[in-house]
C-alpha cells in the first residue's frame, strides 16, 4: 500500500491511474478507523481496481466549540487496517496542505442541510461538501463509498453530485453496529464505561419507533414521543434532536405515508452521537 501525503502527489497518481484505464474507488474518512470503515473499504474493493482511502480530519466541518483538537487519532492503527483490507493508496495529507490559507470558495447545499445536524452544527455540511469535492478532484474516483450512519451527509453528497454533475457514483454502506446495537463511530472512543452502556439508548429508541410503526402507529409525533421516552430513560443522555423527516426531502412529516427517516443526535455525557433508521410504512 502506498502512502501519499500531499494533494499534488495524490492528484498526479490518480490522473496516471485514470489514464491507464483503472477504475478508482475512494473511501473518504477522518481516521480512527473501525469495522464500519473496513466494510466501506470492502465495498469499494468490490467495485474498483484501485482503492484509495483518504484520512483527513477536516477542520472546515468542525464548529468553534466542537471536538476538532481532541478528535481521536491513531495513524499506525489506521494504516494497518487499510493495508489489511486491501487498500492500494492511503492519502493522509497534512493539516495545512489541503486548504490555501486564504481559501475563499466553498460549496453550500442549502436545502437538505437546513435541519437535523445542519441546524445544530451551522457550517458543518458546507465543510463536508467542500472537502469531499476537493477529495474527488484529488483522487479522481469513479465510485465513492459513504456510510449510512451519516444519513443526512449521504443525502447531501448525493445531491451535490447530482446538482454539480460530478461524474462519481455514490455508494452507501450499511451502518455497522456493536453486538449491543450501538452504531460504530470513532467518537465512541470518548465514552466512559457507564456512558458506553447507556449509549445503547439511541438504537433502542429507533427500535421503539420501528415497533410502534409495525403495530400500526402512523403519527410521527407519537413515534418521536416513543423515541424521546427511551432517551429520557438513560440518565446520562440528553437529546440534541429527535426527528422524523421525509427520507428524500428531509422535511419533517406528520404521518408516515412513504419512507421516512428517524434521525437523532444525542449527547451521552459530553459526546454527541448520531443514529438513524429508515421507517417504511
| Interface ranges with ligand PAF (CB under 6 A) | 28-30, 58, 61, 128, 131-132, 150, 153
Full DSSP string of 143-171: EEEEETTSHHHHHHHHHHHHHTT---EEE
The answer to whether 142 is a known catalytic residue is no
Q: Least distance (Å) from ligand PAF to the CB of residue 171? A: 13
Q: How far is the CB of 202 from ligand PAF (least distance, A)?
A: 17
Q: Which is nearer to ligand PAF, 115 or 147 (CB)?
A: 147
Residue 109 vs residues 36, 53, 59, 138, 228: alpha-carbon distances, Å? 26, 24, 18, 21, 29
- Give, for 196, the enclosing helix (H) or strand (E): helix 193-198
Task: Tell the smallest beta-carbon distance from residue 154 to ligand PAF (Å).
Answer: 9
**Which lies closer to ligand PAF via its Cβ, residue 125 or residue 245?**
125
Cβ at position 44, least distance to ligand PAF in Å: 13
Q: Which residue has the cell 464548529?
A: 63
Catalytic one of 34, 37, 124, 142: 37
Q: Given strand 271-279, what is the order of strands in its sheet?
A: 237-246, 260-268, 271-279
* DSSP classification of residue 110: -
- Whole-angstrom Cα distance, residue 59 to residue 114? 20
Residues marked active site are found at 37
Amino acid at each position: 500500500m502506498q502512502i501519499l501525503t500531499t494533494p499534488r502527489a495524490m492528484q498526479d497518481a490518480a490522473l496516471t491511474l485514470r489514464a491507464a484505464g483503472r477504475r478508482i474507488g475512494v473511501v473518504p474518512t477522518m481516521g480512527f478507523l473501525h469495522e464500519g470503515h473496513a466494510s466501506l473499504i470492502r465495498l469499494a474493493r468490490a467495485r474498483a481496481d484501485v482503492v484509495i482511502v483518504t484520512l483527513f480530519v477536516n477542520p472546515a466541518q468542525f464548529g468553534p466549540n466542537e471536538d476538532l483538537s481532541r478528535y481521536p487519532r491513531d495513524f499506525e492503527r489506521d494504516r494497518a487496517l487499510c493495508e489489511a483490507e486491501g487498500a492500494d493508496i492511503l492519502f493522509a495529507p497534512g493539516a495545512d496542505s489541503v486548504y490555501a490559507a486564504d481559501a475563499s470558495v466553498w460549496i453550500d447545499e442549502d436545502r437538505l442541510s437546513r435541519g437535523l445536524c445542519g441546524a445544530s452544527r451551522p457550517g458543518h455540511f458546507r465543510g463536508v461538501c467542500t472537502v469531499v469535492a476537493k477529495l474527488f478532484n484529488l483522487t479522481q474516483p469513479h465510485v465513492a463509498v459513504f456510510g449510512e450512519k451519516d444519513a443526512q451527509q449521504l443525502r447531501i453528497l448525493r445531491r451535490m453530485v447530482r446538482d454539480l454533475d460530478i461524474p462519481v457514483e455514490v455508494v452507501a454502506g450499511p451502518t455497522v453496529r456493536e453486538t449491543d446495537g450501538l452504531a460504530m463511530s470513532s467518537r465512541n472512543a470518548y465514552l466512559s464505561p457507564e456512558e458506553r452502556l447507556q449509549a445503547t439508548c439511541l438504537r433502542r429508541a429507533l427500535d421503539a419507533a420501528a415497533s410502534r410503526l409495525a403495530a400500526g402507529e402512523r403519527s410521527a409525533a407519537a413515534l418521536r414521543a416513543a423515541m424521546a421516552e427511551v432517551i429520557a430513560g438513560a440518565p446520562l443522555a440528553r437529546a440534541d434532536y429527535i426527528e422524523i423527516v421525509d427520507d428524500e426531502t428531509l422535511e419533517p412529516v406528520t404521518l408516515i405515508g412513504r419512507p421516512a427517516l428517524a434521525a437523532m443526535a444525542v449527547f451521552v455525557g459530553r459526546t454527541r452521537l448520531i443514529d438513524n433508521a429508515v421507517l417504511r410504512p
